[in-house]
Amino acid sequence: MAYRTDFGSIHQRPLGVFGAPARYVQGPGATWELGRELQRLGFQGPVLFIAGGTAQRTLAPIWQEQLPPVGLQPVIDAFGGECSESEIKRLVAMSDHHGFCAVVGAGGGKASDTARAVADELGLPVVITPTLASTDSPCSALSVIYSDEGSVTGFRFYNRHPELLLVDTEVIAKAPKRQLVAGLGDGLATWFEARATHESHRNNVVGGKPLTSALMLAKLCHDILLADGPAACAAIDAGVPTPALERIVEANILLSGLGFEIGGLALAHAVHNGISTIPGSHHNLHGEKVVIGLHTQLVLEGQPQSEIDEVFRYCQQVGLPTTLAQVGIDASNDAELMAIAERSVIPGETSHNEPFEVTAIAVMRALKAADQLGGAYL
């Protein structure tokens, strides 16, 4: 395990690096294939399931029915809600009583992050079965670590990705629409951050230079989000998987996940990390805060107003935040804005992947300007 608080360089030579899950499975009713997929990977014996509330209610009965006939015993533990050091330590301690062959994370992004951390501590392979399309976390080989109160404290980076990422779109179609919309916000930043990292010739999250494929995947993610986002929201309102929802789920989870790791992160996620230090923001979802970071990034980069307007219009259309107040931040509180800005430019933060020097005062000014622009889209 590598435990760092930054996304700094791993390699000295300018090598391109591409990392991804070993296998991706998506579709309606995919949960029913989990036993066969785990058997295909050669797993036998007890499996630790770190399960969020929806997973416990809707998926656990399927696991308990399908896994024993193929030689797997699900040991299900309720996820505590935060990917914190204390939660990781609690779950690792369960291995004292079981000889687990793998760890499965089932739930939202924080459950995925926790499962990766626990699997790494135990030296086991990890499988992710998200019940939400709210972040691109399931695809990655890292965990965002939070305090028990919900502030970002650092990151863990791992040597391998999930062995399997299995996405049941019937489950995701029945999740709250706000969760899917937050995933749109997280995914929307992917192309713009990968573009900035490429322009600055900085490293991606897996420790190498972004390859051409990274930029193409990030741009494809962007294009699908713009084309299918509203129709996917309608499918969630109806509670059914549709072709548009299938494409958005793939974009939110797989394309955005690959795009951010092999394309790179920039100011949008750094501002998210700053916003997360403000208690008033803790009720907001990851993607809701990331999209505020995206508005800030585009303003700070001086991008064409047509591009900025397109992003704001999209956010208005699908229900993403356009102002600081919508994520619990007082735009008139300069001390609060400076705290966000200073956190976003600490050494090693992804804000330094921008193709110019980024300072706290510049971020603070961009936060204010973006908020002013966003007010027209309420």
Beta strands across the sheet bearing 2-4:
2-4, 152-157, 142-146
Which residues are known to be catalytic?
A: 186, 269, 272, 286
**Terminal alpha carbon distance of the chain:** 44
Mean of pLDDT values over 321-349 = 97
Residue that the structure tokens 């416990």 belong to: 56
The pLDDT assigned to 7 comes to 54
Q: Using alpha carbons, select from 210, 100, 88, 61 the residue that is nearest to residue 145.
A: 88
Q: What are the residue boundaries of the structural domains of the chain, listed by start?
A: 2-173, 177-377
The pLDDT assigned to 151 comes to 82
What is the distance of C-alpha 257 from the center of its chain? 7
Q: What percent of the chain has pLDDT over 70?
A: 97
What is the distance of C-alpha 219 from the center of its chain? 17
Q: What's the sign of the alpha-carbon dihedral 228, 229, 230, 233? A: positive
Point out the least confidently predicted range of 133-142, 261-270, 324-333.
133-142
Buried b / exposed e across 58-87, counting CB within 10 Å, b at 16+?
bbeebbeebbeeeebebebeebbbbbbbeb
Q: What is the pLDDT of residues 46-75, one digit of tens each?
A: 999 999 999 999 999 999 999 999 999 999
Q: What is the pLDDT of residues 3-25, one digit of tens each?
A: 344 554 444 567 999 999 999 99
Helix (H, G, I), strand (E, B) or coil at 107: strand
Q: What percent of the chain has pLDDT over 90?
A: 90
pLDDT at 175 over 50: yes
Phi/psi of residue 3, nearest 5 degrees: -120, 115
The pLDDT assigned to 1 comes to 37
Fold category of 177-377 in CATH: Dehydroquinate synthase-like, alpha domain (1.20.1090)
Sequence-ordered list of residues with C-beta below 8 angstroms from that of 332, at least 6 positions apart, any chain:
none
Sequence-ordered list of residues with C-beta below 8 angstroms from that of 31, at least 6 positions apart, any chain:
59, 62, 63, 129, 166, 168, 171
The pLDDT assigned to 6 comes to 53
The pLDDT assigned to 376 comes to 97
Higher-pLDDT residue of 339, 154: 339
Fold category of 2-173 in CATH: Rossmann fold (3.40.50)
pTM of the model: 0.92
Average pLDDT of the chain to the nearest whole number? 94
How many Cα atoms within 13 Å fall on the side-chain side of residue 34? 33
Mean of pLDDT values over 292-318 = 98
> Dmax of the chain from CA atoms?
60
The pLDDT assigned to 10 comes to 44
Asked if the domains at 2-173 and 177-377 fall in one CATH topology, the answer is no
pLDDT at 33 over 90: yes
Question: DSSP label at 24?
Answer: E
Q: What is the pLDDT of residues 231-256, one digit of tens each?
A: 999 999 999 999 999 999 999 999 99
The pLDDT assigned to 198 comes to 95
Q: What is the pLDDT of residues 97-135, one digit of tens each?
A: 788 999 999 999 899 999 999 999 999 999 999 999 998
Mean of pLDDT values over 174-195 = 97
